[in-house]
Amino acid sequence: MMTHLHPKTEELINNSSDKERINLLKKPKWIGYTGAKIIHKKLEELRDYPTNLRMPNLLLVGDSNNGKTALLNKFTELNKSFIKEETQELFLPVLMVQSPPEPDEKRFYNAILESLHSPYRSSEKAELRQQRVIHLLNKLNVKLLIIDEIQHVLAGTVSKQRLFLNVLKYLSNELKISLVCSGTREAFNAIQTDPQLANRFEPKVLSKWHNDEEFLRLLASFERILPLKKPSFLIEDSVSKIILSKSEGLLGEVSKILELASIYAIETGVESISKSVLSKIDYTPPSERKKMIFR
């Protein structure tokens, strides 16, 4: 009995080769930690908000690789399109797109149209694309539009930034739906450049992880889903502190460290993560990577 594991993980180990376990480790993992649950609840409130002249919006801010996109992708997955039986209408409660690499109205509409598998012509004017986007989002009863990597707005000139932010305002007003913008801390600056828009967005910060109970709960959750035959005791002080220090408090880095350590543990046959294993994996912390580039 592998009591340290979730029953599904134990079953998987019993029915998988080492290679299959390693392939599984490389796939994205979702842990429903407290902070994520709080933000998901907030997103549900926005999705279900009654139609209003001034809809509430959310700005999700956090460091790069700290789980923002994974959190939003998970929420979008949980809100897939469905057909209402009584009316046979197609409903798409939540739509998520990525902000274009620079503030460009046409490219933004393209991103929406592509995500809806709706063809467009490159010669089509921005106004026509806008009309089609509004028509489609209305027809699909979209209640929440999520725009990831909103800090890309800052890659354009001030006039382009202003135009793009006006597009967001216009869509929110016209569709009477809530917007969720997500990005790095620069995203906050992007929204702040328009005072009217800034007033409409409630900022939520996805903080880095610290050496506390919440971090230990996260590690305990990871241990339940890592397909290793022996317990690793990740919550032990000596192990948890190494993981936190190496990851620099970023969720994506924690996940990568545990992936590499688990692969090493399977390949060497030790089947658990220890201080020794963590010292042998080929991993460079984010700040060290930056130094390497500047060198």
pLDDT of residue 295: 57
Question: What mean pLDDT do residues 41-46 have?
Answer: 97
95-110 pLDDT tens trace: 999 999 999 999 999 9
pLDDT of residue 66: 94
- Evaluated on CA atoms 207, 239, 231, 262, the torsion sign reads positive
For residue 182, what is the enclosing H or E element?
Answer: strand 178-183
pTM (predicted TM-score): 0.90
**45: confidence class by pLDDT, cuts 50, 70, 90:** very high
Does residue 186 contact residue 44 with C-beta atoms inside 8 Å? no
pLDDT of residue 71: 96
pLDDT at 163 over 60: yes
pLDDT of residue 294: 66
CA 235 to chain centre: 25
202-234 pLDDT tens trace: 999 999 999 999 999 999 999 999 999 999 999
For residue 202, what is the enclosing H or E element?
Answer: strand 201-206
Average pLDDT, the chain: 93
Six-digit token string for 293:
């580039």
DSSP-derived secondary structure for 27-85: S------HHHHHHHHHHHHHHTPPP-SS--EEEEEE-TTSSHHHHHHHHHHTT--EEET
